[in-house]
Amino acid sequence: MKEKIYITRKLPAGIVKKLEGEFNIDMWDQEEEAIPREVLLEKVKDVQGLLCMLTETIDEEVMDAAPGLKVISNMAVGYNNIDVDAATNREIVVTNTPGVLTETTADLTFALMMATARRLVEASDYLRNGKWETWSPMQLTGMDIHGATLGIIGFGRIGQAVAKRAAGFGMNILYYNRSQKPDAERETGARFAELNDVLRESDFISILLPYSEEVHHLISAKELSLMKKTAVLINTARGGIVDEDALYDALKNETIWAAGLDVFEKEPIDPSHPLLTLPNVVTLPHIGSASIATRMKMAELAADNLHNSLVGSGEVKSVNYIS
């Protein structure tokens, strides 16, 4: 009898077809709407494999509802939506999709930095709303990127890819990471520094850490107070790394100059959130990996991880280890 898989979001037919031959597949039929919690709990009751998105919280309640579950395949590089410890205790393999989204997310990070620095969204709205009546010397002036200092917090694959782009703009690159990376330093020209030094010296701060409880609100009021008044904060990692209340205060009180955010503590962010009222914030709906080619690669890798885990052959991008 074929093992059963549940997919929590409608995926392209070609991806699903790769799994159809060996598994019984059920799938949430909406592409733009997340699966309701009560539906998820019902659907996982008799599955051995679950392919999910960041929008689903896969906790002990879900695992208890799925006693036959063997693998959770997360279509994301992050996995803070999954209780990995609970999965490991149940000998459930948890997989993710690293690597395939590195360059696309680095592109978006740099694009968000440029849009924020040069006030592109604000300028576009200024024009569209009929406010452009003349040219003036200081109208909508922003910050230069070329020659500026970029501080990267988290120097993994994406951080290094951003550093390579920054080098092309003649930027001075600092980075903070749990450990130094000499090979990456030689390749990118980046220089290791302690977190507080990165915050003090940088014109732009790019957060690219994976989320964990250890780094929850790593950037809060104290850290923001260390930054230059002309500094720009860019977060394309996870929302929980930045204390949003402290960030709002820093931006409103001009402790820092601007912020560009692709991620938020609660997603989707409430349209009435105070951060969305500020003109010096550029916001995006978590689209770091959102190129057609990359999202297809992520879906393919998530499907391969699920397949290979269940059939016991082929490479699996596992984030936990079963003893």
The answer to whether 217 is a known catalytic residue is no
Residue 321 lies in a domain: no
Catalytic residue among 286, 295, 300, 307: 286
pTM above 0.85, yes or no: yes
CB contact at 8 A, 285 and 261: no
pLDDT digits (tens, 9 = 90+) for 228-238: 999 999 999 99
92 burial type by CB count under 10 A (0-12 exposed, 13-18 middle, 19+ buried) = buried
Prior bond of 268 cis (ω within 30°):
yes
Q: Do both 148 and 192 map to the same domain?
A: yes
pLDDT above 70 (res 101)? yes
| Together in a domain, 169 and 248 | yes
Q: How many CB atoms lie within 10 A of CB 98?
A: 19
Burial of 159 (0-12, 13-18, 19+ CB in 10 A): buried
CA–CA–CA angle 278, 260, 114 (5° rounding): 120
Segment 182-220, tens digit of pLDDT? 999 999 999 999 999 999 999 999 999 999 999 999 999
Instruction: Read off the pLDDT band of 274 (50, 70, 90).
Output: very high
Among 9, 119, 165, 238, the one annotated catalytic = 238
Q: Which two tokens stand for residue 129?
A: 């709303």
Chain segment 120-162, per-residue pLDDT in tens? 999 999 999 999 999 999 999 999 999 999 999 999 999 999 9
Q: Are residues 268 and 158 in the same domain?
A: yes
- CA–CA distance, 201 with 47 (Å, rounded to integer): 52
What's residue 322's pLDDT? 59
pLDDT digits (tens, 9 = 90+) for 33-47: 999 999 999 999 999
Same domain flag for 271 and 133: yes
Q: Is 267 a catalytic residue?
A: yes
Tell me whether residue 316 is in a domain.
Answer: no
Asked whether residue 72 falls in the same domain as residue 120, the answer is no
Query: Is residue 317 included in any domain, yes or no?
Result: no
Please report which residue ranges of the chain form alpha helices under DSSP H. 13-20, 37-43, 60-65, 84-89, 102-117, 120-128, 157-168, 182-188, 195-201, 221-226, 244-252, 292-311
User: What pLDDT was estimated at residue 1?
Assistant: 80
Give yes or no: residues 122 and 267 share one domain.
Answer: yes
**Same-domain pairing of 29 and 155:** no
| Measured distance CA(169)–CA(151) in Å, rounded | 14
Note whether residue 318 is domain-resident. no
Q: Element (H or E) spanning 263, and its range?
A: none
Same domain, 16 and 151: no
- 138/243 same-domain check: yes
Number of domains in the chain: 2
What's the confidence (pLDDT) of residue 313?
Answer: 84
Mean pLDDT, residues 296-319? 95
- Cβ burial of 292 (10 Å; 0-12, 13-18, 19+) is exposed
Residue 323 pLDDT > 60, yes or no? Answer: no
> Would you say residue 86 has pLDDT above 50?
yes
Do 70 and 109 sit in the same domain of this protein? no
92 lies in which domain range?
Answer: 3-98+292-311
- To the nearest whole number, what is the mean pLDDT of the chain? 96
Both 115 and 252 in a single domain? yes
CA-based torsion, 320, 296, 65, 216: positive or negative = positive
pLDDT score at 39: 98
> Are 148 and 220 in a shared domain?
yes
In a domain, 87, yes or no: yes
More confident residue, 313 or 38: 38
32 is catalytic: no
Q: How many residues does the chain have?
A: 323
* Predicted local confidence at residue 15, as pLDDT: 94
- Within-domain flag for 320: no
Residue 45 lies in a domain: yes
What angle is formed at CA 96 by the lines to CA 93 and CA 97, rounded to 5 degrees?
A: 150
CATH of the domain at 180: 3.40.50.720
